[in-house]
Each structure stands twice: as structure tokens, then as C-alpha cells.
Amino acid sequence: MPQKKPLVVVTRKLPDVIETRMMELFQVRLNLDDSPMSKKAVIEAMKSADILVPTVTDRIDAAVLGEAGPNLKLIANYGTGVDHIDLAGARKRNIVVTNTPDVLTEDTADMTMALILAVPRRVCEGERALRSGNWRGWSPTWMLGHRINGKRLGIIGMGRIGCAVAKRARGFGLSIHYHNRRRVHPDTEAELEATYWESLDQMLARVDIISVNCPHTPATYHLLSARRLKLLQPHAYIVNTSRGEVIDENALARMLKTGEIAGAGLDVFEHEPAVNPKLVALDNVVLLPHMGSATFEGRIDMGSKVLINIRTFVDGHAPPDRVLVETF
């Protein structure tokens, strides 16, 4: 007798090729509208599912996990970050959690580099001026920005993405500095000619551009607090393609408005999808709608990772991308 296929509930619309393969392999309940499920809908899904495939827009907290049915044994997250999932609560209920590491590294690093270029050179300001009809031709003193060649880039979180950003930045003539919980391998440090700072405070005071590439964990919530933001030099820029919660957004907006920080490029926000109106009102900020990993290739690769994790788990083996600890 053929083995019963597990019920997989997917909370968001995924690429067609991924959904089709899921339908071939498992009993699947898809979300046909590409809109986030309500908390109530997620709870109902968890009551009946054997496997849940959530995304960053689903808050799987202790209250939601408490409603999980006895059959739920795997949460196969579609994405790298798992700060929206109560990992400790899942462990207590013997629910395995997986994610999709590695596949988003290059895409996110590309977007980070794009912001590192766009903010000092005022790319978006110039584009808005042209579209609004305010451009009157070339001028030797209009829309001046700053070159990045020769500047110091401080990377917070020297994991896969942080290292990929550093490699790109080296090609643009930036000097690499970094703060990480643990120092990277000496060979990596030598290849990138990177300077390690055990003290984040000391690094912030000495660099020209900050790139936030650490995950959001309890330890990194408001890591860039108002106190730490004040350590930055007035000509410094901040780029964040990680998680909005790492920065005290209100303090950042206040300092950008007063000129205590020169500019920022943000792809993530503290209360997504809401964006702080104080940031929206500023010209010296480039704002993007969380699109750092938004490539066709990346989204399909993410889905392939989810499929592998589910198939491995269903076959009775440890999935390759099981989330065990939170680090940066």
C-alpha cells in the first residue's frame, strides 16, 4: 500500500515551478492569492498540516505554536532569516525548523553594493529631479555627491553575505573593516585585506560607510541604538539589507534630518510593511521595498531548498538546512 503523502501548507504564492513540483510530491494546500495569511489562517493551517512552509511575513510566535496540531513536525521556512519563528518554542514541541541559506548571498550582496553606490552619489535624488522637470542641464556645482574609492566600509556581520559584500567593495577601492561575534578565518581576512574590530563602538567612530549584514536576534535588536549612531561621523552613510529591527529607526531618522548622519540606504524596516514617515520625508535616504533577494533565480533556488528539506525530512533523515542556533 502506498505511503500517505504528508499535508504541506504553503502560506504565500511561490514560483510556479516550485508549486508544481510540490504538488507532484506531496499533498499540498497552496495560497493562490499572493497576500499574507491572517494570524487566524496560519493557526488553522498549523492545526491540520504535517509541514508548514511560511515566509518572513508570517509571525510564528509562542501563541501561534501553542495552537499547532499533533501532526505538525516540520516548519520549512521559505527564506534565510528565522527571526519570525519562535525557535525555542518549536524545539519544545519537537518541531524541526529549516531555512534556505546560501542561495540569497549573491543577490543580497549585489543590492547592498547598489545602495553603497547610490546613496553617496545621490542617484535617486538625481532621478527624482529629472522626472520632476527640475533639471536645467549640466552644472559644475549641482547634485554633488562623494566618491567611494578610498573610503572605509564597516561591515556589521561578516557571514556569507558580509564577505560577499566585502569582495565587491574591494573592487570599488573601499577599505574593509568589520565587526563580528567571531573573527573570520585568517585566509579570508588576508584575501579581503580586512581589519577586524572587536569593539563595534570603536569601528563605528572610524568608518565612512556602514553596511548592516547581521541577522535579527535578541542580541542584535537595536544594535545600532541612538547612542551608537551618535558615534558615527557626520559624513557617514548607513546601508541596511538585513533586518530593520537592528537599527533604532526613530533615532536614525532624527539624525538624518539634522545632518548628524549624511545619508542612508534601507531595504528593510523596523515595522514592515509600514515605513517610518519620517524616513519617507527625507531626500538623503534611498528606500527600497525589501527587494534585496528579489531575483527569479534566487526565488526558485529558495524553493528548491525547501523541497530538499521537506523530502529529506519525510524520508526519515535530518534535513540539510536545519536551524540549530542563532549567530551573527
Model confidence at 327: pLDDT above 70: no
Q: How far apart are CA 114 and CA 118, in angstroms?
A: 6
User: 286 pairs with which residues across the strands?
Assistant: 265
pLDDT tens track for 116-129? 999 999 999 999 99
pTM for the whole thing? Answer: 0.90
pLDDT of residue 326: 53
HEC profile of the chain: CCCCCCEEEECCCCCHHHHHHHHHHCEEECCCCCCCCCHHHHHHHHHHCCEEECCCCCCECHHHHCCCCCCCCEEECCCCCCCCECHHHHHHCCCEEECCCCCCHHHHHHHHHHHHHHCCCCHHHHHHHHHCCCCCCCCCCCCCCCCCCCCEEEEECCCHHHHHHHHHHHHCCCEEEEECCCCCCHHHHHHHCCEECCCHHHHHCCCCEEEECCCCCCCCCCCECHHHHCCCCCCCEEEECCCHHHECHHHHHHHHHHCCCCEEEECCCCECCECCHHHHCCCCEEECCCCCCCCHHHHHHHHHHHHHHHHHHHCCCCCCCECCCCCC
- Residues 293-319 have a mean pLDDT of 97
Query: What average pLDDT does range 161-165 have in this prediction?
Result: 98
Q: Is 317 a catalytic residue?
A: no
Question: Which entry of 21, 29, 290, 311 is annotated as an active-site residue?
Answer: 290
Identify the pLDDT of residue 325: 61
Specify whether 243 is catalytic.
yes
Residues 6+ positions from 80 with CB-CB distance below 8 Å: 99, 100, 101, 104, 293
Residue 328 has pLDDT above 70, yes or no: no
290 included as an active-site residue: yes
pLDDT over 90 (residue 177): yes
pLDDT at 247 over 50: yes
Mean pLDDT of 65-86: 95
Distance, CA of 85 to CA of 41 (rounded, Å): 16
Annotated catalytic residue within 179, 243, 270, 299: 243
pLDDT recorded at residue 23: 97
Q: What are the structural domains of the chain?
A: 7-103+295-314 (3.40.50.720), 105-287 (3.40.50.720)
Selected catalytic residue, list 191, 272, 311, 322: 272
CB of 61 closer than 8 Å to CB of 39: no
State the pLDDT confidence band at 4, using cuts at 50, 70 and 90: confident
In this predicted model, what pLDDT tens digit does every residue of 26-45 receive, in sequence order?
999 999 888 999 999 999 99
